[in-house]
Amino acid sequence: MITEIKYKKQICEIGKRIYDKGFVAANDGNISIRINDNEFLITPTGVSKGSLTPEMIIKVDGKGNVLDGDYRPTSEMKMHLLVYQERSDIQAVVHVHPPYATAFAIAGIPLDQAIMPESVVYLGTIPVAEYGTPSTAEVPDAVKQFVHEHQGVLLENHGALTWGKDLEHAYYLMESLEFTAKINWIAKQLNGDRELSKQHVQTLVDMKTKMGIKGKSPLGTETPDGIHAKKSTPKREYSLSEQDVNLIVERVSQNILNELKKHL
């Protein structure tokens, strides 16, 4: 059995990861873990996720009462507790502001296109929960309708929220969510966000079912077993001018050089 101190250390480790990845800035974001049916560990308000220490982590009950800890729990606690109340199988929740996912949240665009096989199988669709004033009941009320059929949501004009069977799982779902948003955005700039066909999505959904992975698949055309998939999108032909090609090569080269400099 994992002890509370190990859970607290794990929260600190994940906090460092999300800070280092740029998923949060300053004191943004919050993380929680369920330790039993009515006790939860959660991050404090006003502390950078990159500098958390175990003694900063707070224990609360299902109503948000502080049971142990010298800090005040995050003001987003209601959102975390809502997920735990609705899903007894969920053991951890992560809320951060990853740039690409947050941009989609601000634009009100869900991540529901079947573009990459990995996102269809592992992540499923990520809807947009209607805007709610942070720290109020408006946010959990907006999230509630999506908790049972999805593995996370975009919070309109706010950020992203994922939940999982343990903290590593919730964190990796967030990584996958942000990566999917980034690829989606880049593909849109190239006018190339073509979706997988209905048949391909159905094959992936079958794989997902066999693997026991939950989460609604991309929506669209109804398939015989009730799973939805996007309609097949005709292949489009693109023609780039020499100037376009040179510009793309220049930008890619510059990005590669920038990455190399980081490791020198």
Task: Tell me the residue range of the domain where 81 lies.
Answer: 4-189
In a domain, 228, yes or no: no
Tell me how far apart the alpha carbons of residues 4 and 110 are, in angstroms, rounded to a whole number.
36
In a domain, 223, yes or no: no
Global pTM exceeds 0.85: no
Q: Are 236 and 194 in contact (CB under 8 A)?
A: yes
Total domains in the fold of the chain: 1
Q: What is the pLDDT of residue 193?
A: 58
Tokens of 37: 């049916």
pLDDT per residue as tens digits for the range 47-80? 999 999 999 999 999 999 999 999 999 999 999 9
Tell me how far apart the alpha carbons of residues 21 and 15 are, in angstroms, rounded to a whole number.
10
Tokens of 255: 């990005």
pLDDT per residue as tens digits for the range 210-233? 556 556 655 443 333 333 344 333
Tokens of 81: 């507790």
In a domain, 215, yes or no: no
In a domain, 194, yes or no: no
CATH number at residue 19: 3.40.225.10
Edge-to-edge strand list for the sheet holding 30-36: 66-68, 58-61, 39-42, 30-36, 92-96, 159-164, 152-155, 128-129
In a domain, 70, yes or no: yes
Whether 76 sits among the annotated catalytic residues: the reply is yes
Which of 4, 76, 130, 195 is flagged as catalytic? 76
